[in-house]
A and B are shown apart, each in its own frame.
Chain A
Amino acid sequence: MTAVGFVSYAGELSGMPPAEALRRAHEVLEYCGLGEARYRNVETYSTGMKQRIKLAQALVHGPKLLLLDEPTNGLDPRGREEMLDLVRSVSHGRGVNVIVSSHLLPDIERVCDRVIVVIKGKLRTAGTIKDLKKLAGQPADVELREPNVAFANMLMEKGLTVTPPKGNIYRVQSELPPEELLRVVQRTALESGAQVRGFETAVRTLEEVFLEALTA
């Protein structure tokens, strides 16, 4: 079947009148980025296009709730980005609610606002992503150009808690407000000969949230 044929068939199966289904199929295919390939046979599509046409047929009848199961499965990086952007733009401000089920937590962070962690059939954690990622006490992740032991030691002498580095990144804890902490860190770096390449409020990654929920 052609892509338009397939999507309008899906639309008709959802109950749309045939004329509306065809019109809407064109619209939705254009939106999903398949505008140029819409008269081609679906069997000739690449994996990325097939994923997008699956999204198109799910959207054609204007649902208010969209359920996506591993939407980026099999897609290369560019396809993945496009798919995630599509999903995000459908959900925000259009009145469509989206539930995404996925193993790829950075994808979820990019697209979703809330997350539910289900382990062995039980709900373990739920909440907005922003809240779940917050770490108590606002620690900072400091990235140096290369690891520097003197830097860590000097920070600890000044009364700050410093974790051993992951790669080039140290996690520093203190009660100081961020801009003060940044000053202290940069001063210490200058004194110890290190170069600070990044300073950000540390957050838990969603993966850490998941793993913590697992062991809780």
Chain B
Amino acid sequence: MSNIKPIADLSYRNYDGPLKKPGSRWWVIAKNGIRIALKKMALWGLMFVSAWYYLVMLVVLFFVQQITSSNPAGAQAMKAFMERLVWPDQFLHGFSYAQLPMLIIALMLGAGSIANDNRANAMLVYLSKPCDKREYLFGKWIGIALPILVIMVVPTIIFYAYGALTFREYGFLKDAWLLPKMLVIIPIAAIFHASIVVGISSMFNQARNASATYAGIYFITNFFTLLMGGIWASSRGETPFPVKHLFYASIDGVLIGACKAIIGTKGSAPFGIQSQGGMSQVPAPAVVPILGVALLISVVFVLIAWRKIRAVEVIG
């Protein structure tokens, strides 16, 4: 009884509790990155924006359904509309119209990931822990790829479920592999964006410089694609060889081309609008080359990040 002192000793005491072995640090880093990103309100808004094509199509299809069931006169026109709709292309459009919001989301999640650590000289602190470069890089990478994956997959699955349940008679389930194919291309998109963002972030000291750079690359290559599309549209039917492949030589293009290749469609006009060819119908590139390009670019940027992450202190 008299051993217990009434006044506690609050001076420094050591920590002798459990310490996890290295190998699980990447999750700590990823969790931290995701938590920081989730605090940004704009992210939530952008999540909805990225699914806007699916949302619009849901509304359109819903009204089409209502009209066909209630008004037999308009039903004929609507039936024609429904026959014209190519289901795989709806997913293609959902995917491709999500790319710009996904770019912004990727930047919000990842532009500051390594750049901020560079600026605060925290790299020295983090890498001096039992956390090596591999875990650090993987953690940062997964902290971007995983949210992107989730944000893209959820609307896709919801739309698929709605379609599968409601439009079976319109040939929705004609291609049984549609959903698995989407579940292949979406992770590829996530890997692609995350790798590039991580690579670019490691090159800079400030998040906004990294953002500007990636956004710059995106828009400049997109402009190039538009140019190619214009050439294609003006020379209908005959596809000059370079156009068919260079059309996809942009950040957008690589992913959309890959999506087309995997789904196996050459694209059509969005919203079921009638059109005779045009930019949206450039044929898909071959599967292996386009996927190869996507993966190659991803690997290159990850290697850039690997080279750039060093535990050195910036003086001044």
Contact = CB atoms under 8 A, between A and B. Distances in A.
A36 to B, nearest CB: 16
Contacts of B24: 15
Closest 4 CB pairs of A and B: A62-B15, A15-B19, A15-B20, A13-B129
Contacts of A57: 125
Contacts of A31: 11-12
Interface string A8-29: 0110111111001000100100
B18 A13 contact: no
11 contacts: A9-B32, A12-B25, A13-B29, A14-B130, A15-B20, A16-B15, A16-B19, A20-B15, A30-B10, A57-B125, A89-B11
A14 B236 CA distance: 61
Contact of B20 (A10, A16, A62, A95): A16
A54 interface: yes
B28 A12 contact: yes
Interface residues of A, number: 28
Interface string A33-65: 000000000110000000000100101111010
B12 A90 contact: yes
Nearest to A64: B14
Main secondary structure of the interface of A (DSSP, over half): helix
B129 A14 contact: yes
B126 A61 contact: no
A21 B136 CA distance: 19
A96 interface: yes
A61 B28 contact: no
Interface in B13-53: 13-22, 24-25, 28-29, 32, 36
Contacts, number: 64
A55 to B, nearest CB: 11
Contacts of A62: 14-17
Interface string A67-102: 000000000000000000000011000111000000
Nearest to B126: A13
Given A10-B129, A13-B126, A24 B25 contact: no
Given A54-B125, A57-B125, A16 B17 contact: yes
A57 B21 CA distance: 19
Nearest to A30: B10
B131 interface: yes
B130 A24 contact: no
A31 B25 CA distance: 26
A24 B15 contact: yes
A26 to B, nearest CB: 12
Interface in A89-142: 89-90, 94-96
Contacts of A1: 36
A49 B24 CA distance: 30
Contacts of B17: 16-17, 20, 62
Contacts of B11: 31, 89
B12 A94 contact: yes
Candidate in B19, B20, B22 with the most chain A CB atoms within 10 angstroms: B19
Nearest to B21: A15
Contact of A9 (B14, B18, B28, B120): B28
Given A15-B21, A59-B12, 12 more contacts: A9-B28, A10-B126, A12-B28, A13-B129, A13-B130, A15-B130, A16-B19, A17-B18, A42-B120, A43-B120, A61-B129, A95-B14
Nearest to B23: A15
Nearest to B14: A62
A52 B33 CA distance: 24
B128 to A, nearest CB: 8
Interface string B105-138: 0000000000000001000011001110000000
A18 to B, nearest CB: 8
A20 B18 contact: yes
A13 B19 CA distance: 10
A13, A59, A64 interface centre (most CB from chain B within 10 Å): A13
B202 to A, nearest CB: 18
A43 B129 CA distance: 21
A9 B15 CA distance: 16
